[in-house]
Amino acid sequence: MTEELTKKAAEMLLKGATLLSEPCPYCAGVRVMQEGQALCISCGRQPEKKEIPTVINDMSPLEKIFEKKLGSLSKELEQEKDHEKQQNILKTINTLLETMGKIKDKQ
Same domain? For 31 and 68 the reply is no
23 torsion bin: left (phi>0), alpha (psi -120 to 50), beta (else): beta
What confidence score (pLDDT) does residue 107 get? 66
Give the model confidence (pLDDT) of 20-69 as tens digits.
888 888 888 888 988 888 888 888 887 665 565 666 667 788 888 999 99
Q: What pLDDT, on the 0 to 100 scale, is given for residue 55?
A: 60
Per-residue pLDDT tens digits for 59-70? 788 888 999 999
Please report whether residue 51 resides in a domain.
Answer: no
Average confidence (pLDDT) over 3-16: 85
pLDDT value of residue 72? 93
Which pLDDT score is estimated for 84?
A: 94
The verdict on residue 36 lying in a domain is yes
Same domain for 68 and 35?
no
Residue 78 in any domain: the answer is yes
Q: pLDDT at position 33, please?
A: 87
- Are 36 and 65 contained in the same domain? no
Asked if residue 35 is part of any domain, the answer here is yes
- CB 23 within 8 Å of CB 31: yes
User: Buried b / exposed e across 43-78, counting CB within 10 Å, b at 16+?
Assistant: bbeeeeeeeeeeeeeeeeeebeebeeeeeeeeeebe
Domain count, the chain: 2
In a domain, 20, yes or no: yes
Determine the residue type at 106. K
36: containing domain: 3-40
Determine, yes or no, domain membership for 54.
no
